[in-house]
Structure 1
Amino acid sequence: MNAELAYFFRHALLRDAAYQLQLPGDRARLHGLAFGIIEAAHGGRPPEAPPLESLDDRKWVPHASDAVAFDLSEHARLAGVAHGDEYSNARRLYLRRAAENAQSNFRNSLAEAWWRALSELVDGAARGEALRRAAHVGYRCGRQAEAMKSLELALEIHRSVGNRRLEGVALEELAGVYAATGNLKQSELTHEQALALLRETGARRFEGIVLGNLASIYGDTGRIEQAERAHVTALAIDRDLGDRNNEGIGLSNLGLFFQETGRVDQAEGAHEQALAIHRQIGNRRGEGVALGNLAVVLLQTGRADLAERILEQAIAIDRDVGNRRAEGIAWDLLAGVMGETGRVEQAERTHELAIAIHREVGNRSAEGAALSGLAGIYDRTGRFGQAERTMEQALAIHREVGSRRGEGVALGNLALTYQATGRLELAARTFLQALDLHRQVGNTRFMGAHGCEYALCLLAQGKRSEAERLWRESMVLLEGVRDVQEIRFKRNRMREQCSKSGEAPLDEASP
């Protein structure tokens, strides 16, 4: 320890000793004096915020005291030892401002702790709402178990006081936790319960949020028309209310839906609109997510360099705002770019990083997708045993969480490994299962990608006429979604296989 540090250490010890020598009443008066001086030096007391239980969605307005709000709440707490209720209101006011300020500046651990502390100072519906807000911050940082406990207590409180509106809002939050941890069936049921309560109590902003979430579940489980209707209705509600934040989120969700159903131009347009809105309103969290979504379209349409730059921006933002869930997804997408551009070792390490983050935050669906990507790397580098085991893990996860879209992708990729190891009949059966699921969920891109691979399997089985027909149909699908990278990759694979077997390429007339 250097001399300066030693001085500060001794000074702190002496200061604490002097403080402890004061009588409790004198210490409380000192805290009261400190509270008054600090508050006056920071612009005086800010106005009272609307009651927590009112769900007033007026934008939070910063105040000069926000930088010291938690210190003021602590001085008020300690001053209250001698002065009773005189400081109670001030303590609640500043603790709430500290939580709101921390949340708006992405200091998520502090925000969660301070919302939880505030819940101990209020009662009734206000306590339930403070617990919900703690859960809202917590589960987005990967603390799902703590969030679940807080939300269950919040629901118990709202039901006991008969606040059906806040019960609906807490149910929406709980449904989000179920979705984040891969329990899609329970998430859908809980969203539907929330929707009924929110419509009954006229909470339209939250109604739009629930519909958008349900739309994503419908899409992932193959109910395409229902998903599109819910996306459009949710977006209409956001626009009707002038809710720009949720409009941006809704456009991102709609863009993903367009991607998954093969409407690439519409997807890119929706992601660009979402990105513009998030930047306009200063929503950094939403900006990071929108950048990641846009990068997928760019990679698919042959703009790998731009996709990589955008993903690097997305990861920087996700880290800055503490969005570990989105960061994990962005790393997995970046691994895909690396794999597509020949950096196989780097892609493998990056997939592994993404998987670690998904497991940390409990994102089962994304873990399954990342395992599929990693299995693809193993397959391409001849490690077929590892590829098969890893793909089976991915398939088990997608089935566990009820993601028919993910199940179809995993089955098709597993069929590739069967094909590469000479198990052609098993590969053919598995391709057929995958293609059936792709049709059910409207996954045009993978109908094309796995259709091409199945055509090569048929060719290896000596069924050239079937292979030619399926190849043409599958290429039309890939061209329709403008998947330049996949088209190039499939053509190279086909020509390599045909060259080895001494046959004419499938896109040329057979002899």
Structure 2
Amino acid sequence: MFAESAYLFRHAVLRDAAYQLHLPGDRARLHALAFAAIEEVAGGRAPAPAPLDAVGPVSFQSHPVDIFAEDLAEHARLAMAGGGSPDLRAWSSLEKSYVRRAAEQAVTQFRQETAARHWQRHAELSTGVEKALSFCRVADVFRLAGKPGDAEQLYLRALALLGEAGCRRSEAIALGSLALLYQGIGRVGPAEQEYGRTLAIHRELGNRRAEGETLGNLATLQEITGRIEQAEQSFQEALAIHREFGNRRAEGDTTANLAALHLHTGRVVQAERGLELALAIHREVGNRRAEGITLANLLVVYQNTGRFELAERGFSQALEIHRQTGDRRFEGVALGNLAILFQNTGRHEMAERSYEKALAIHREVENRRVEGLTLGNLALLYDKIGRVDQAERGFSEALAIHVQGGDRRSQGIVLGNLAGLHLKTGRFEEAEQGYVQALAIHRESGNARMEGAHLCDYALLLLDVRRPVEAREKFLQGADILRRLGDAHSLKTRMDSMKEACARDGLPPFAGISE
């Protein structure tokens, strides 16, 4: 093995020495010859790509030469290096064209580091608006790869260039991408501000297609911040525009996000139907990344309705897609959801390990909102297995994140779960205050599932403080909601707890409830 390595090393040194012995002008001419030979063998020169600021949808058109695009770009660069070429501008144009093709191909193959490197080089070879839009492409790659700090810097550099150029259409696209970045890292105020600026420009220019895409993204932000009616209206407006322009890719994304809203507000049948439709659209248009995200959300529906085996089988597929597409952000989300499944099926050690893996990813990609969700779920696990101090600390950390990010829905969930811990530790006044606050937020944000669960939990508190009539009323309300939503697991867990509490107090189980 050592002898082979030594031979390869000597061979590489000799090859480089032979290369360096040529005069710079001769080396440049050799690279020009190599460029011409590769193009000829590979089917000729690829057509010039559409401008980065082209109006309307432009998809990457592959060409047989694309597999050599990276090599051709490098040969074009080195053909200029000797200074002997009479047409440096032509070689520079060829390098830029093939660097872009290499970048586009890397994006379609989810090779994010390679894509970012080539878009950076494209930016170096470009000026003005084209340079700004190249920065945006690098930033898009960084955003999806979980590098928000790098992405933000590049979006801001792009916006400065676009502002100087007075290119309003491209400025709106960059602002919308920056808003999406801010939304993803929990900076709700700046995200909404940039969405507002984006929509204003799209409407000013009459760019209806882009207006629909921005409305769909804004709707998700409105849902996160508890404005459910407004969010649903924005989703419907966005869908109408997508269908008007035949924008199937955006239609798939918005259909999936509207289905997630239906899930969060207890419309389980609509949610499942919407997610299945979105999944079909993603597969039709080849949107592999969105397919993984939507599949994971569909598995949450299966999980919430007690189809645990079906959900668990699907998580392996969803995680495989996230890893294949390099989507660290949603890999973390899926790991957190898988941890919930392990927790609900009594595999507590596996749940804890999965939560810890998810948290590591959320922190790596600065996904603060989902970090808060995962901390809250891990705290719930600690509460269940009797690690009270860790549970209380986790709930407090999660609540602080949700308050900072303006995530009303998640604030309600954590407040209700923390109230349950206060109940277990005999802090009845704090527990009641927490349940009342949580239930108000659940109703405000349309979170029917957690309203049902926390009504039942609140009833157990009322039993402990000797208010059985109120307890029965609250429990009946909560059980009815859970049964209507098909959440058999949550209903059974709470029915068992109610029967134990009634027996402890010498009361018969509440009548009029069926599982």
TM-score, normalised relative to structure 2: 0.97
Matched letter for residue 155 of structure 1: L
Aligned match of 1:238: 242
Distance 1:378 1:497 in 2: 22
Matched letter for residue 487 of structure 2: D
Q: In the alignment, which of 73, 88, 91 is matched to residue 87 of structure 1?
A: 91
Distance 1:489 1:436 in 2: 23
String of CA shifts for 1:374-409, please: whole Å, max 9, x gaps.
001101101111100011000000011110011111
Alignment length (residue pairs): 509
Distance 1:257 1:320 in 2: 27
Q: 4+ runs of 1 displaced by more than 3 Å?
A: none
Matched letter for residue 190 of structure 2: Q
In 2 relative to 1, CA 150–201 (structure 1 residues): closer, same or farther, beyond 3 Å? Answer: same
Matches for 1:294-333 after TM superposition, within 5 Å: 294-333=298-337
Distance 1:351 1:399 in 2: 21
Q: CA deviation at 1:184?
A: 0.9
Q: In the alignment, which of 345, 360, 373 is matched to residue 341 of structure 1?
A: 345
Aligned match of 1:445: 449
Q: CA deviation at 1:56?
A: 4.4
Matched letter for residue 106 of structure 2: A
Aligned match of 1:269: 273
Aligned match of 2:45: 45
Q: Give the match's secondary structure for 1:31.
A: helix
Aligned match of 2:33: 33
String of CA shifts for 1:130-175, please: whole Å, max 9, x gaps.
1111111111111101100100011111110111011100000000
Distance 1:263 1:440 in 2: 16
Q: Give the match's secondary structure for 2:53.
A: helix
Task: Answer yes or no: is the 8 Å Cα contact 1:262–1:444 preserved in 2.
Answer: yes
Aligned match of 1:15: 15
String of CA shifts for 1:40-82, please: whole Å, max 9, x gaps.
1211111111111225423211111111211111110110123
Higher mean C-alpha deviation, range 166-175 or range 80-89:
80-89
Matched letter for residue 452 of structure 1: C
Aligned match of 1:170: 174
Q: Give the match's secondary structure for 1:52.
A: coil
Q: Give the match's secondary structure for 1:53.
A: coil
Q: CA deviation at 1:205?
A: 2.6
Which blocks of at least 5 consecutive residues in structure 1 are unaligned?
A: none
Q: In the alignment, which of 501, 504, 510 is matched to residue 506 of structure 1?
A: 510
Matches for 1:328-407 after TM superposition, within 5 Å: 328-407=332-411
Distance 2:55 2:106 in 1: 19
Distance 2:409 2:12 in 1: 60
Matched letter for residue 329 of structure 1: V
Q: CA deviation at 1:33?
A: 1.2
Aligned match of 1:292: 296
Establish whether residue 496 from structure 1 lines up as the match of residue 494 from structure 2: no
Distance 1:507 1:127 in 2: 70
Q: Give the match's secondary structure for 2:36.
A: helix
Q: CA deviation at 1:503?
A: 2.3
What is the root-mean-square deviation in Å for CA atoms of aligned residues?
1.2
Aligned match of 1:154: 158
Q: CA deviation at 1:508?
A: 6.0
Q: CA deviation at 1:86?
A: 2.8
Q: CA deviation at 1:202?
A: 2.6
Matches for 1:132-281 after TM superposition, within 5 Å: 132-281=136-285
Aligned match of 2:439: 435
Distance 1:202 1:3 in 2: 68
Matched letter for residue 446 of structure 1: M
String of CA shifts for 1:260-287, please: whole Å, max 9, x gaps.
1111100000000011111122211111
Q: CA deviation at 1:356?
A: 0.7
Task: Answer yes or no: is the 8 Å Cα contact 1:50–1:56 preserved in 2.
Answer: no
Distance 1:137 1:416 in 2: 42
Establish whether residue 64 from structure 1 lines up as the match of residue 68 from structure 2: no
Distance 1:33 1:307 in 2: 57
Distance 1:277 1:484 in 2: 30
Task: Answer yes or no: is the 8 Å Cα contact 2:463–2:501 preserved in 1.
Answer: no
Task: Answer yes or no: is the 8 Å Cα contact 1:455–1:470 preserved in 2.
Answer: yes
Distance 2:45 2:176 in 1: 34
Distance 2:208 2:289 in 1: 23
Percent identity of paired positions between Structure 1 and Structure 2: 46
TM-score, normalised relative to structure 1: 0.98
Distance 2:93 2:206 in 1: 31
Distance 1:229 1:477 in 2: 25
String of CA shifts for 1:450-474, please: whole Å, max 9, x gaps.
1111111111111110110011111
Distance 2:408 2:418 in 1: 15
Task: Answer yes or no: is the 8 Å Cα contact 1:467–1:506 preserved in 2.
Answer: no
Q: CA deviation at 1:4?
A: 2.3
Task: Answer yes or no: is the 8 Å Cα contact 2:369–2:405 preserved in 1.
Answer: yes
String of CA shifts for 1:11-42, please: whole Å, max 9, x gaps.
11111111122221111111111111112121
